[in-house]
Amino acid sequence: MYSQGLIGAEDNVEETPEFLEEFQARIDREEKIEPNDPMPSAYRKTLIRQIGQHAHSEIVGMLPEGNWITRAPTLRRKAALLAKVQDEGGHGLYLYAAAETLGVSREQMTEELLSGKAKYSSIFNYPTPTWADIGAIGWLVDGAAIMNQVPLCRCSFGPYARAMVRVCKEESFHQRQGYELMMTLAEGSPEQREMAQDALNRWWWPSLMMFGPHDSDSTNSDQSMKWKIKRFTNDELRQKFVDATVPQAERIGLTMPDPELKWNADKNDGEGGYDFGSIDWDEFWRVVKGGGPMNVDRLAARKKAWDDGAWVREAALAHAQKRRDRAEASKVAAE
Amino acid sequence: MATNADFANTLIALADDHLILGHRLSQWCGHAPMLEEDLSMPNMALDLIGQARNLYSYACILEGSGRSEDDLAFLRSDREYKNCLMVERPNGDFAHTILRELYFAAFMHPYWEAAQSSADKTICGYAQKAEKEIAYHIRHCGEWVIRLGDGTKESAERMRKAVTALHPYTEELFTITPAHQACIDAGLLPDLATLKSAWSMTISTIFKDAFLEIPEIAFPQEGGRDGRHTEDFGHLLSELQFMQRAYPGQKW
C-alpha cells in the first residue's frame, strides 16, 4: 500500500557540462529545485539518502521517548510526551513523502532501514533509563536537531525545505518543553537534581556527536554545501549549539560534563564562544557501526512492529481490492 | 438526591475508563503495523487522557477534598480504580485493540450526546468537545474492523477471535451503580440503559460490513465498577504509578 506511483523521477538526464553548469547557476540564484526538474543523479541520490536518514531518525526516535509514555509522572507530562512522540512520527511521515517525490517509495526506504542498510541518527542508540532522559532529549537532542534543521528550511530542494519549516516549529516547541522539564527537576529535590545532572552527563557528548565528524573528516560536506543542501559545516553548527546551550545549563544550575569547557572571548571572530574538550570519535564510530548500547534493540523493535503488522497491511490491501472488485461488478451489472 | 460524592465518584469511574484505555492505546506508539497507526494510536490515547483529566479535575472540585487529578490518577490502590474490566484487558493483537476501542467509543458517543443536556453546565461543555473526538474513534476503528473482518482469511479469523474474547466484557459498560443512579435521577448524567440501542446499532452496522456476528454471551465479565480487577491490572498500575510511588511528594 505504500508504493505510490513513482513519478518518472528516474529521469535519465544527460549530465553535460552545460547542464551541470546551468543547474549550479540555478542553485546559486537561490532557485528551489522541484521534483520534476531535471537534476544530476548525484544530487538526487544525496537527497534520497539524507531525507531518508532524517525520516528514519524520526521514526526510530519515537522509541526512546515512547519508553516513558506509560510511566510519565503526571497526566500533564504524559499528554505532552504523547503529543511529542506523535509529532516525531508526523515528521517521519512528511519526510518520507518528501523523499518519495525523488522516486523512492516509503516501502523501499523502510526495507533499507530494517535491513540495516540505511542509517538513522546515532543519538537514538542510547537508552532512556530515567525520566530525566525525556527532558535531556527534548532540550539537547531536539536542540541540536534544530541547529541542523533551521538552515535546511533554505535547502535548495523545495519539498525538503518546506517540510523543514513545519518540523522546525514543532521541534522548537519540544526543545522548550524539554528544557522546562529539566528546569523543574533541577529546582526539585536532591534526587531530582541528581537525576537531571546524570541525564545531562550521559547526553551531552552524544548530542555534540549529532553534528557528525569534524569538517576535515566529513566526506559528504563539500558537495552538499555547493548544492546548498547544507548551509553550514558540521563544526560551525556544533559550535553554535555549544554556545547556545552552555548558558542554558548554567541558568538552571547544571554542570556540563566537560572540564575543558571555557569561555574564549576571541572565538567566533571576536564575538566570543566556548572552547570545549575533544569528542570521543571512537565512541562515535562504534555507535555508527552498530555497536551502541541500543542499536540492536532499536532495529529489533522496528522489525518486530513491521513483521507483526504484516497481516494488518495485507488485510487492508485485500479489502481495498475486494471493494474495487465489487464496485466494478455492480457497475457492470448496472450497464 | 445525588450528593457531591455520588457525582464525583461516578465521574471518577468514567475517568478511570478513559485513563486506563488511554494507557493501553499509548503502548502501541512506535510499535504499530504502519506509520499512520503509530500516529493515530497516540492521537486517540491523547483524546482519552485529555477527557480523563477533565473528569478527574472536576471530580476533585466536587469533592472539595484538596485531591488533584494526579492524586486520583496515580495514588490510589487497585480496588479504588472503578474502570470497567474491558479497558484494562491487554492489547493482544491489532484486531483486539481496535475492537476494544470501537466497543468503548460506540458507548461513549451516545453518552456524550446525552450528556450535552445534563443539568450540570460543566458536563455539558466537556460533552460537546468529547463527542466530536469520540466520533472519530468510531470512524477510525470501525473502518479497521471492516477492513480486517473483510480482508484476508487470517485477518477475518483474528477479528472473530477478538470478538469472542472481548464481547463478554461489553455488558459492564451499562452497569449502573447506586451513585450513578442518583446522578441519573438528578439529571446530571445519562441513563446508561437508554444508550444500549445506539451502541447495538453502531456495532451491528459495522459487524454486518465486517462479516462478523454478535455472539451470545453466556457469562458476562464484570467487577471493575466495584474495584475487582483482572490480574493484568496490577502490572498496569505498577507501570502507571511508578514515578509517583518511587519518588513520593515531588513536583514534576
Tens digit of pLDDT at every position of chain B (252 positions) = 899 999 999 999 999 999 999 999 999 999 999 999 999 999 999 999 999 999 999 999 999 999 999 999 999 999 999 999 999 999 999 999 999 999 999 999 999 999 999 999 999 999 999 999 999 999 999 999 999 999 999 999 999 999 999 999 999 999 999 999 999 999 999 999 999 999 999 999 999 999 999 999 999 999 999 999 999 999 999 999 999 999 999 999
Q: CA A10 → CA A37, A85, A111, A182, B2, distances in Å?
A: 11, 34, 19, 47, 71
Contacts of A44 (CB under 8 A, 6+ apart): A9, A102, A103
Contacts of A154 (CB under 8 A, 6+ apart): A161, A228, A231
From B26, B10, B8, B206, select the one nearest B105 (Cα to Cα).
B206
- pLDDT-derived band at A13 (thresholds 50, 70, 90) equals confident
- pLDDT-derived band at A35 (thresholds 50, 70, 90) equals very high
B/e letters for B25-62, b = 16+ CB within 10 Å, e = fewer, are bbbbbbbbbbbebbbbbbbbbbbbbbbbbbbbbbbbeb
**From CA A80, how far away is CA B223, in angstroms rounded?**
32
Q: Does B87 touch chain A (CB under 8 A)?
A: no
Q: Does A190 touch chain B (CB under 8 A)?
A: no
pLDDT at residue A2 greater than cutoff 60: no
Residues A189/A194/A200/A203 CA torsion (nearest 10 deg): -120
A163-216 pLDDT, tens digit per residue, is: 999 999 999 999 999 999 999 999 999 999 999 999 999 999 999 999 999 998
Helix (H) or strand (E) holding B60: helix B35-63
Measured between CB atoms, which of A86, A96, A131 is closest to B39?
A: A86
> Which residue matches cell numbers 551531552?
A204
Q: How many CB atoms lie within 10 A of CB A331?
A: 9
The pLDDT of residue A1 is 36
> What's the gap in Å between the CA of A240 and the closest CA on chain B?
30
> What's the gap in Å between the CA of B177 and the closest CA on chain A?
27
Please report the sign of the dihedral spanned by the C-alpha atoms of residue A49, residue A51, residue A52, residue A58.
Answer: positive
Domains of chain B as residue ranges with CATH: 4-212+222-246 (1.20.1260.10)
Partners of A157 in the β-ladder: A33
Q: Do B34 and A309 touch (CB under 8 A)?
A: yes
From B172, B165, B174, select the one nearest B220 (Cα to Cα).
B172
Q: Do A308 and B33 touch (CB under 8 A)?
A: yes
> What's the gap in Å between the CA of B142 and the closest CA on chain A?
13
Q: Does B150 touch chain A (CB under 8 A)?
A: yes
Contacts of B149 (CB under 8 A, 6+ apart): B155, B156, B159, B160, B207, B209, B210, B211, B212
Residue A119 corresponds to which cell in the numbers above?
Answer: 542509517
A276-306 pLDDT, tens digit per residue, is: 999 999 999 999 999 999 999 999 999 999 9
pLDDT at residue A3 greater than cutoff 60: no
**From CA A64, how far away is CA A43, in angstroms rounded?**
32
The pLDDT of residue A11 is 57
The pLDDT of residue A20 is 95
**What would you report as the CA-atom Rg of chain B, rounded to the nearest whole angstrom?**
18
Residue B221 corresponds to which cell in the numbers above?
Answer: 465479565
Q: Does A153 touch chain B (CB under 8 A)?
A: no
pLDDT mean over A155-161? 96
Q: CA A148 → CA A31, A125, A249, B170, distances in Å?
A: 21, 19, 20, 50
A219-245 pLDDT, tens digit per residue, is: 767 899 999 999 999 999 999 999 999
pLDDT at residue A10 greater than cutoff 80: no
Contacts of B116 (CB under 8 A, 6+ apart): B124, B127, B128, B131
Q: Does B69 touch chain A (CB under 8 A)?
A: yes
The pLDDT of residue A334 is 86
Is B120 strand, coil or helix?
coil
pLDDT at residue A6 greater than cutoff 50: no
Give ∠ CA A119-A122-A125 in degrees, rounded to 5: 110
Nearest CA in chain A to B236: A70
Nearest CA in chain B to A318: B151
Residues of A in contact with B246 (CB under 8 A): none
pLDDT at residue A121 greater than cutoff 60: yes
**From CA B156, how far away is CA B162, in angstroms rounded?**
10
pLDDT at residue A8 greater than cutoff 70: no
**What would you report as the CA-atom Rg of chain A, rounded to the nearest whole angstrom?**
22
pTM: 0.95
> What's the gap in Å between the CA of A213 and the closest CA on chain B?
29
The pLDDT of residue B180 is 98
**From CA B212, how far away is CA A44, in angstroms rounded?**
48
Q: CA A146 → CA A172, B21, B24, distances in Å?
A: 7, 34, 32
From A205, A204, A230, A208, select the one nearest A219 (Cα to Cα).
A230
**From CA B64, how far away is CA B140, in angstroms rounded?**
38
Residues of A in contact with B239 (CB under 8 A): 70-71
Q: Does B71 touch chain A (CB under 8 A)?
A: no
Helix (H) or strand (E) holding A262: strand A262-264
Residue type present at position B217 = I
**From CA A208, how far away is CA A148, in angstroms rounded?**
12
**From CA A273, how far away is CA A267, in angstroms rounded?**
5
Q: Do A319 and B45 touch (CB under 8 A)?
A: no
Q: How far apart are the first and last CA of chain A?
A: 31
Q: Cβ distance B201 to B134 under 8 Å?
A: no
**From CA A39, how far away is CA A37, in angstroms rounded?**
6
B/e letters for A105-130, b = 16+ CB within 10 Å, e = fewer, are bbebbbebbbeeebbbbbbbbbebeb
Residues of B in contact with A77 (CB under 8 A): 252
Q: Cβ distance B19 to B83 under 8 Å?
A: yes
Q: Where are the alpha helices (DSSP H) in chain A?
A: 17-28, 41-60, 62-66, 75-100, 106-114, 132-136, 142-149, 158-186, 190-209, 221-226, 234-251, 281-286, 295-308, 310-334
Residues of B in contact with A315 (CB under 8 A): 147-148, 151-152, 154-155
- pLDDT-derived band at A335 (thresholds 50, 70, 90) equals confident
Cα A315 vs. chain centroid, distance in angstroms?
Answer: 31
